[in-house]
Structure 1
C-alpha cells in the first residue's frame, strides 16, 4: 500500500520533494495558499550556480551594516525602525559574519552544492518538460577594488572542493555589448547554468500531476499536528490525514513549524526583480554585478534584473523605491537598455536563517518534516534537498548531504 504524503508549498523546494517522493512510490498531494511558484520561485534570477551558493554572512557585513540601516538605496536594506524580530534576527546573523563561521558554513553547504545539478538532470530525464542551460556567467566590476570580496568568495568555494573556472575577459563587450564605459574589469565564471524559474516550476508541477499527484492551490493551511498520524487542518475546516507531511512554505515556515520544535529563526529576505528590453542586441549570458548586488539573466526574450535583500515582513507591500534603486545601480553598468519601460515588477520573500544553512529533516512531531530555510539558494538546492528528504522519509536514514541541516538544531 502506498504511503500518502502531503506537501505544503508549491515552490521549487516543495514540488521537488513531491516529485522525488513519487519516485519512491508515494501518493502525493501538494497544497499551496496562492499558487504554483507564487512566492520566491517565480521572479528570481533562475541561477543554478553552485559556485555562488555561499554563506550570506561574511566579514564585510560589519562595515556594511550602517549602510544597510541608513542608505535607502542600499542593496541590503533594513527599514528604520526595524521590528524587534528583525533586530533579533540581525544580531544572530551578525554572529556568523566572520571568516571562521563562513568556512564552517561553506563546508556544510558544499556536499549539497556538488549534488545540485545532477538532481536537476535526474528530474529532466524523468519527464519534467523543461530545460536548464549551461552558460558562462559574466561578472562585472568598475575596478579591481570592487572585485576583491567576490574573488575571495570564489576562492573559498574552490578551497572547499568545488570546481569554479574563473578567468578575466580581455574583450567583455564582445560577450555583452551593453556593458557601459563604467565597467573596467570583467571575469567569466564557468560550470554554472540557469533556468527560467516560473516556467520550470510550473513544468515540475505538471509532471507531478501527470504521475498521479494532486496539486491544490488557493488552499490555506491553518495548522499541522501529529501524535501518531499527521493531520493538516485547512482554513475551510477540512482536516486531512496522511502518513507524512512536508512543510515547504518558505519565509512563512515559522507559522506552522514553530509548534513542532523548529526554533531556528527564519527571516524574510525580500528580493525584487523586473525585466527590460535590450534593443537590437539580446543579452545571451547571465551577468552578475557583485558591487551592486544585481543578478541578471536572459528571460523570454528580455533581460531580468534581480536583486536586493530587504529584511521585512514576508507580507509587506511592494516597495517601488527598491526597484528605483536597482534601476539607478543597473543604469551605471549597462547602456542600451530601456529602464523606463519595465515589465514583470515583482517582490518575493526568501527564507533566510541566521547561520546560513537550510532546514531539511524531521520535526518533533511524528511524520512531519521540514524543507526550507535555503535563503537565496532555494532554486538551485531545491531538487537536491527534495531528493535527500524523500530518502529520509522512505528509509529513516539521514544522508550526509543534509546531516547539518537538522531543523531542530
Structure 2
C-alpha cells in the first residue's frame, strides 16, 4: 500500500461506516468497526430503502426554504421546525437558509452528481462480492393530484444531462389504476421513473456487516468519546475500556458527528429526523410510490408497505413524537386506498445528518482522522459511493477530484 495506513478504526456501523470499512478492506486494510448501539441501529434501519439517483436532490432548495417558513405556523407540515429556544438549531437554520439560493443549490446538485452516478454501480460491486441481500430493480411511481404539477416534474427530469436522464412515462386513467392499484381517485397523474432500485435497508446493512466480518473485521459495541491523533497513529477512546489504536480512524456517526468531532467540523450539520412505520395493504404494490405533495415515500416491505416521511429538526436523542406519525397518515391517507392505516406497526424515528450547504462531509479533518457523513436523506443511496471515495483518499493519501467539494474543511 506504499506506506498508507494498514489499520483503521471506523466509528459507526450504519451504511456509510460499513461501506467505508468494506472498501478499505478491498484495498488490504485491517478494519475494526465500533458502534455505540450496534449494526443498523440508526437511520440505516428505518428509511424508505430507495437507491434512486433520478430523484435524489439536495435539500437546500429555494422551495424548501419557502416551505420551511410556512411550516413554522403549521405543526402538521412535512417539514417541522419546533418553536423553542435552541441556539444551535437557530445558527444551523440561518446558515441553511443562506444556502437555499438557486446558485448554492445548483452547486450542490453538481457536486452530488458523482454520488448519484456511482450509486447503482457501487451496490452492484457489494452484491457481486459477497453482500448477500436482494437489490430490486424498479420504477418509482411519482403520484400527483394535479396534472400540471406532474408535467412540471417531468420537465425537470427532461432537463437532466443525457447520461443521467431516466426513462419516464406519464400514466393517467385506467393505466394509472392498473399500475398503481393503491392510488385513490384524487391521484390524477403518475410520472413513472424507470431504472431505480430499492432494498430492505436493515437487511442490506446487516448483510454488509456480515460481509465485513467475514473479511476479517471485528465489530464492537462501545460508545466512543474522542478520536485523537497520537504518535504513530490515532487513539479512539471509548467510554468503558482501553483505547483502540490504529494508523487512522473514520467517524461515520451520522447526526452525532458534531458531538464526536466538535469544532473540527466546520460545515453546519444537524439532525433532520425522519419517521416511518409499516402498514398492511389490501392489494399488492409492484414498486415504490412517492407522494411529493405530501413528501411521503412508500415502499413494498415484506407483506405490507413501509411509509416514510417528515423532516423534523430536533436533537437526535429526542423521543418519537407520535403527532408526526399522525401527520404522515393525515397527508397520505387521502391519496391511497386499500391501506389499513389503523393497523400500523414498527413506528420509528431516525436522525439523518443534514448539512447546511446540501453536500456531504467526506475527507480528512486532522492527522489520521477522517469523517464520512452529512448525506441527509440519501445516506442509503450515497453510502457505498461515499465509502469508496473515502477509502481511496485514506489509502492513497490523495483527495480524489470527485471528493473535493465534500471536503469537511471547505471554505464557504
TM-score higher than 0.5? yes
Confirm or deny: 8 A CA contact 2:62 2:100 kept in the other structure.
Answer: yes
Aligned to 1:203: 207
How far did residue 238 of structure 1 move? Answer: 1.6
The farther-off stretch of 159-168 and 170-179 is 159-168
Please state whether the residue corresponding to 1:222 is helix, strand or coil. Answer: strand
* Counterpart residue number, 2:118: 115
Unmatched runs of 5 consecutive residues or more in structure 1: none
Conserved? CA contact 2:270–2:355, under 8 Å? yes
Give the CA deviation at 1:76.
0.4
Give the TM-score of the pair, scaled to structure 1: 0.95
- 3-state SS of paired residue (2:227): strand
- How many angstroms does 1:154 deviate by? 3.1
C-alpha distance in 1 between matches for 2:162 and 2:329: 35
Shift of 1:86: 1.3
**Cα distance per residue 1:172-193 (max 9 Å; x no partner):** 1111211001111111001211
Q: How does 1:179-198 map to 2 (within 5 A)?
A: 179-198=183-202
Mapped to 2, the partners of 1:253 and 1:14 lie a distance apart of 12
Note the alpha carbon deviations across 1:205-242, whole angstroms, 9 max, x for none.
0001111110112x100111114421001001421110
Task: Give the alignment's Cα RMSD to 1 decimal.
Answer: 1.6
Distance 2:126 2:65 in 1: 40
Query: Which residue of the partner structure matches residue 249 of structure 2?
Result: 245
Residues 150, 190 of structure 2: 8 Å contact kept: no
Could you say what secondary structure the match of 1:331 adopts? helix
Structure 1: distance between partners of 2:313 and 2:143:
26
What are the equivalent positions in structure 2 for 1:212-251 lying under 5 Å apart?
212-217=216-221, 219-228=222-231, 229-251=233-255
Aligned ranges for residues 79-90 of structure 1 at < 5 Å? 79-81=82-84, 83-90=86-93
> 1:347 maps to what in 2?
349
Q: Is the 8 A contact 2:140 2:287 kept in 1?
A: yes
Cα distance in 1 for partners of 2:243, 2:211 equals 26
Q: What stretches of structure 2 of length at least 5 have no aligned partner? A: none
| 1:139 CA displacement | 0.6
Q: Per-residue CA shift, 1:241-275, capped at 9, x if unaligned?
A: 1011000000000111124x221111100000001
Aligned counterparts of 1:302 and 1:323: Cα–Cα separation in 2:
17
Structure 1 pair 149–326 and aligned structure 2 pair: CA distance change class (3 A): farther
What is aligned with 1:269? 272
Q: Corresponding residue for 1:399?
A: 400
Please list every run of at least 4 consecutive aligned residues from structure 1 whose deviation after the TM superposition is greater than 4 angstroms.
none
Deviation of residue 13 (structure 1)?
0.1
User: In 1, Cα distance between the equivalents of 2:48 and 2:83?
Assistant: 27
- Structure 1 residue 167 displacement after superposition: 2.2
Contact 1:46 1:197 (8 Å CA) reproduced = yes
Matched residues in 2 for 1:346 and 1:82: separation? 26
* TM-score, scaled relative to structure 2: 0.95
Which deviations, in whole Å up to 9, do the C-alpha atoms of 1:92-151 show, x marking residues without a partner? 111122222221111111122101111110011111111211101001011134446644
Single out whichever of 167-176 and 386-395 deviates more from structure 2.
167-176
Pick the aligned partner of 2:339 from 337, 340, 346: 337
* 2:318 partner SS: coil
1:3-402 matches, cutoff 5 A:
3-81=6-84, 83-147=86-150, 150-151=153-154, 153-155=156-158, 158-159=160-161, 161-170=163-172, 171-217=175-221, 219-228=222-231, 229-259=233-263, 261-279=264-282, 281-363=283-365, 365-402=366-403
SS of 1:135's partner is: strand
Contact 1:110 1:161 in 2 (8 A): no
1:70 counterpart SS class: coil
Query: Over residues 20-72 of structure 1, what are the superposed CA-to-partner deviations in whole Å (9 max), with x where a residue is unaligned?
Result: 11111111110000111000000000000111111112122343233221111
CA distance in 2, matches of 1:237, 1:211: 25
CA contact (8 A) 2:286 2:300 kept: yes
Q: SS at the partner of 1:340?
A: helix
**CA distance, structure 2, for counterparts of residue 273 and residue 95 of structure 1:** 29
In structure 1, what is the Cα distance between the partners aligned to 2:168 and 2:126? 28
Instruction: Give, in whole Å, the separation in 1 of the partners of 2:358 and 2:390.
Output: 19
Supply the distance in 2 between the matched residues of 1:65 and 1:209 (Cα, whole angstroms): 43
